[in-house]
Amino acid sequence: MIRRNVTPKKTPIKGEPTEKVKESIPCSVCSKVRPLANKTKKICAVCTKKIKLEALKERKAKKREKIKNTITQSRLDQMTSWLIRAAYEEKCYACEVKMDKKQLQCCHFISRTKSMTRVDLRNLLPGCPTCNLYTPHHVWNLGKSLNRIWNEGMTEVLLKLSTVSLKLNNSDRKEIYDIYKDALSQIESQPNMSIEEKFVILSNADYNYSRVIQKLIKV
């Protein structure tokens, strides 16, 4: 057996080392002694998770509020279509075929590519999908119906308006959206309302819409 010279441990100058006692630091949020996930702010893992969840909920709520207050062109088109189909008779104004308003579409006399007349109520009438999608000459019949409903020469007015370019921001779209939504609510609140009474509401909505557009054109 090999003998080795084992030197004894030297005693430190400061004395024998003492065992360090880990200090228990309570959480700054819940005041409970738990393992800290954030040592800088002294927050335990449980509270850190809760804070992250609350922040996530707040972000989602802000996102929902932003979406609610943002009126895209698509949302405005949808509201306009609901109003048109609710205000008129349940028939196609191009081929005169009667059908449920859920099957009807919102047809444009002037193409929807023209920004000035895209959501102008005087430019729109309910129509069947066949006429709206596959029958180009349905526009002629729509024009005759518009002249009969609004006044003679309305199609000429719309043709002149379509040459003007119009750019709407979110605030403008929301103002128009609210006007149309209010008109739709009035119509739907009374199921037995006559077509004449509905047209009065539609005319008022068109008047309020025109006021919004006039302000934009002047600017």
Domain residue ranges of the chain, discontinuous segments joined by +: 36-69, 73-218
pLDDT beyond 60 at 179: yes
pLDDT beyond 90 at 137: no
Q: What residues have CB less than 8 Å from 195, skipping those under 6 apart?
A: 88, 89
Going by their DSSP bridges, the two strands 36-38 and 124-127 should be labelled as: unpaired
pLDDT of residue 38: 87
pLDDT of residue 21: 63
What is d(CA 9, CA 18) in angstroms, rounded to the nearest whole number?
A: 16
pLDDT of residue 200: 95
Per-residue burial over 88-100, b = 16 or more CB atoms within 10 Å of its CB, e = otherwise: beebbbbeeeeee
pLDDT of residue 168: 92
pLDDT of residue 40: 87
Burial (CB < 10 A; 0-12, 13-18, 19+), residue 209, is buried
- HSE on the CB side for 42, CA within 13 Å? 11
What is d(CA 71, CA 154) in angstroms, rounded to the nearest whole number?
A: 29
More confident residue, 92 or 20: 92
What is d(CA 145, CA 139) in angstroms, rounded to the nearest whole number?
A: 10
Range scoring the smallest mean pLDDT among 8-17, 139-148, 201-210: 8-17
175 pLDDT band, cuts 50/70/90, is very high
Mean pLDDT of the chain: 89
pLDDT of residue 78: 95
Could you identify the residue written with the tokens 């919102």?
Answer: 106
Could you identify the residue written with the tokens 């009807």?
Answer: 104
39 pLDDT band, cuts 50/70/90, is confident
| One-letter amino acid for residue 34 of the chain | R
pLDDT of residue 219: 47
